[in-house]
Homo-oligomer: A and B are copies of this chain.
Amino acid sequence: MIKFMILDVDGTITDQNRIISPDAMKNIKNGIEKGLNISLISGNVIPVMFGLKTFLGINGPVFGENGGIMYYNGKIEKFFSKEKPFKFLEYISTISSATAYFTNQWRETSAAFSMDPGDVEKVSTEAKKWNLNIVDSKFTWHIMNQGENKAYAVNIIKNLYGLNWDEILVAGDSDNDNPMFNLPVKKACPANATNTIKSLSDYISPESYGNEIGDIMLKFKILP
């Protein structure tokens, strides 16, 4: 039985323009009323995730920076440091088109940037030398510490709530969701997910961009 559902935000509960799906909102509310716990994990910054928790009525912890930082029980907890990612961003800004992203002022454990597609290979190679990962969340690139990813966050939830793997259901659509889709949890995705995410999923919904949430809840018997 699924006790905990962990949702990516962009493309999973939002449309292509990042607007939250009112249908997803209703089903999140319905799920919580049925006793489900829900968390959000996104590449976004923690004050934005704090806002989403408030305004969507999310009952579980919310994670920002792809799992590096959590807001739970009125407190923020950081699991990694931003020092190395920011130093790396400073460096690649001098050797590539990498440009710091606006929300970096609120980042605590990672750095975000944009770059020309032609620079991806070069910057990836440099990141390996620095023992860092770069991850594309479709809306921006993220520089992450080793071990900082959404699977890290899922493990924290598992321990906090004393869950078994098969009591956890994750939903996501893009590359930065891969680590949590490689865990022995239940996995579902919308029709707009990447091929990798689809290949790792127990269930691929025919619905997209937030409209799949209700369908997934039916499939996993969260909603009747």
Residue numbers of A with Cβ under 8 A of B are 14, 17-20, 22, 25-26, 29, 44-45, 47-48, 50-52, 54-57, 74, 102-103, 106
Contact = CB atoms under 8 A, between A and B. Distances in A.
Number of copies of this chain that the complex holds: 2
Contact of A103 (B14, B47, B55, B57): B47
Secondary structure call for the A interface: helix
A19 B29 contact: yes
Contacts of A103: 47, 50
Nearest to A46: B47
Nearest to A15: B57
Contacts of A102: 74
A44 B102 CA distance: 19
A46 to B, nearest CB: 9
Contacts of A17: 57
Contact of A52 (B29, B45, B51, B57): B51
A224 B22 CA distance: 22
Nearest to A9: B55
A22 B26 contact: yes
A138 to B, nearest CB: 13
